[in-house]
């Protein structure tokens, strides 16, 4: 007997969210919504509480399409530099806005509000589960030796002593 919802319906709003210090994330992907198997697609609902930040990251195998459901999101997107200069855009997206991030572009967004949460719906052209297709800034920085980082940033190695050393994904954090 099949579930009364049918195979094409997924209760995203009722699914168990993954909790983080700055908000939560719940998603539909081929692991929990079998009809997506082989479709190269997934969708996530994400909430950032006041002060919440989606860790700066990039997706090596997917583009990202984000729709603002509630609140305002402050974005930065950094892309390739075919003309010799990095292409960086900073903007605020509001309810009803749609933001596209090309595959491989470094980006982040945060809750730009001071009183209300930010809710977004994010669609990917991959079945890979979040955060399995993310390469975050914390993991990226910590994958490099401290002496190399010091040279790149032009600071003494001792200036980096307070940085955390983990390489696990943070996904959603918050201002301290």
State pLDDT tens for residues 88-144: 999 999 999 999 999 999 999 999 999 999 999 999 998 878 777 889 998 888 889
pTM for this model (two decimals): 0.90
33 band by pLDDT with thresholds 50, 70 and 90: very high
Average pLDDT, the chain: 91
Residue 153, helix vs strand vs coil: helix
Place of tokens 């919802």: 5
In tens, the pLDDT along 46-60 reads 999 999 999 999 999
Residue ranges of domains in the chain:
18-174
Q: Does domain 18-174 have CATH number 2.60.120.10?
A: yes
Give strand pairing partners of 93. 73
Confirm if 62 and 107 have CB atoms less than 8 A apart.
no
Residue 106 CA to residue 80 CA, distance in Å, equals 9
């Amino acid at each position: 007997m099949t579930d009364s919802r049918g195979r094409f319906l997924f209760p995203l709003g009722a699914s168990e969210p993954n909790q983080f210090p700055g908000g939560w994330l719940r998603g539909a992907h081929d692991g929990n919504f079998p009809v997506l198997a082989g479709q190269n697609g997934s969708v996530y609902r994400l909430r950032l509480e006041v002060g919440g930040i989606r860790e700066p990251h990039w997706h090596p195998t997917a583009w990202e399409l984000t729709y603002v459901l509630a609140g305002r999101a402050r974005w930065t997107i950094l892309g390739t530099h075919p003309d010799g200069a990095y292409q960086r855009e900073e903007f605020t997206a509001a309810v009803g806005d749609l933001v596209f991030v090309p595959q491989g572009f470094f980006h982040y967004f945060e809750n730009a509000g001071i009183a209300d949460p930010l809710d977004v719906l994010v669609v990917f052209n991959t079945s890979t589960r979040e955060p399995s297709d993310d390469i975050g800034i914390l993991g990226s920085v910590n994958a490099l030796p401290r002496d190399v980082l010091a040279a790149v940033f032009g600071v003494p190695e001792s200036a980096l002593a307070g940085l955390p050393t983990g390489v696990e994904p943070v996904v959603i954090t918050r201002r301290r």
